[in-house]
Every structure is written in C-alpha cells, then in structure tokens.
Amino acid sequence: MRALLRAPLLLYRWRLGWLLGGRFLLLEHVGRVSGATRRTVLEVVDRGAEGHVTVASGWGPGSQWYRNLRAHPEATIQVGRRRTPVTATFPDADDVAPALARYAGRHPRAARALFRYMGAGPVDGSPESLRAAAHHIPWVRFVPRPGD
C-alpha cells in the first residue's frame, strides 16, 4: 500500500509528473521542525481563474504537510512541468463549498470516499450537504506569489 501511495511522488522525481495531468500537484514545503525541504503529491480539488489551486487535507489537520504549511506558508507547487511559487492560505468551508461541489461532480467516487473518511456523514449533492461536508475537511488554497 505504501508503494502505491508513493508512486505519484516517484513519477515527479523521475520528471514524469506530467503523466498525472492536472489532477495532481507536487508540493514542496519546509518542515516546521527540521527546516528541511519536504515533498508530497496532492490531489487538486479546484483551480481558480486567478491561478490559485485548492486542495483538501484528506488525512485531516494532523497531516504533516498541512501542519508544515501552517507554520511556513511559503511553498512551491508543480503541476506537470510547471513550477509556481505560492503562499498557502486556509479558506473557510463556506468559501470552498462551490469548489467542492464542482469536484464532487467531476469525481463522485473520490468525493464519496473523502466524505466517508472525514466523517462528513451522508452527502446527497445538495448545496447544503456539500457545505456541511466541507466543514469536516481542512482546506488549503495555494495562491501564486506576486512577482514570482
């Protein structure tokens, strides 16, 4: 199982991240304790017209990458071959509910698995149920840094 979960990171390491398309990104961030560069691959929930990218911490607020970004929000993301310096922001659930609705429409099985794992309860696809589900998930929005 660990090898399967690490496969996307290996693809980026071998410069084959473009094979994952735009659905995944490589996050390079700073460890909050070690100060070392850390890397992880995350699924993209939504892309904004302004260039921002929204992801969910599917393992909850205890995820190491999430905790690291809380301590050091400056990071770099790579989608395919394109690297972008970003600042991590932490939008509230009401702000990301429309993005979650779009994601659930595009990837219903993945959305159901995320809702179930995060204890979001039954989600029927209505705006109210998606907004309620969004409150159970920690969100991160990567905003491109000006001038970079």
Name beta bridge partners: 144.
Answer: 86
Ranges of each domain in the chain: 2-144
CATH of the domain spanning 2-144, picked from 2.170.120.40, 2.30.110.10, 1.20.120.1200, 3.90.1150.10? 2.30.110.10
- Label residue 107 exposed, middle or buried (CB < 10 Å: 0-12, 13-18, 19+): middle
Whole-structure pTM value: 0.84
Q: How far apart are CA 17 and CA 24, in angstroms?
A: 9
Given pLDDT bands bounded at 50, 70 and 90, which one contains residue 129? confident
Q: What is the pLDDT of residue 132?
A: 77
State the pLDDT confidence band at 122, using cuts at 50, 70 and 90.
low
- For the cut 60, the answer to whether the pLDDT of residue 1 exceeds it is no
Numbers of helices and strands, H then E, in the chain: 5, 6
